[in-house]
Structure 1
């Protein structure tokens, strides 16, 4: 299975230091550092991914 990684739409700015890419994997969603694509990835279930996104949204709303 070839994974198609997608870079965050927030990447590519002047301070492009914290970039992530997402990929659909058979066990869930892969998350990796776009600056180090061969450095491995974190695999999350869809529920875990949703939970992290919800937590990040709450954190930025403060």
Structure 2
């Protein structure tokens, strides 16, 4: 599954220190990883669950 996450993106609003996350999107899933530890673990969420998470952040 994580091999499908080929295109990682980081927000242009990220700090210069690199303290942010990167996301990769497939038709079904969203992957999240630490930009400072790209070889570390990847969290993978169903796309609908990720959308709910982002919507909740925007409401808060």
TM class by smaller structure? 0.7 to 0.9
**Which runs of 5 or more structure 2 residues have no equivalent in the other structure?**
none
Q: CA–CA distance in 1 between the matches of 2:5 and 2:52?
A: 26
1:8 alignment partner, one of 8, 11, 16 = 11
**Could you say what the CA RMSD is over the residues aligned between the two structures, in angstroms?**
2.1
Query: Please, what TM-score do these two structures have when normalized by structure 1?
Result: 0.72
Larger radius of gyration: 1
Does residue 42 of the first structure (1) align with residue 43 of the second (2)?
yes
Aligned length, in residue pairs: 57
Q: Which has the higher contact order (CA 8 A, sep 6+)?
A: 2
Query: Please, what TM-score do these two structures have when normalized by structure 2?
Result: 0.74
Superimposed CA distance per residue, residues 8-46 of structure 1 (whole angstroms, 9 cap, x where no aligned partner): 222134x653x0101124651101111111111110111
User: What is the SS of the residue equivalent to 2:12?
Assistant: coil
**Greater than 4 Å deviation, 4+ residue runs:** none
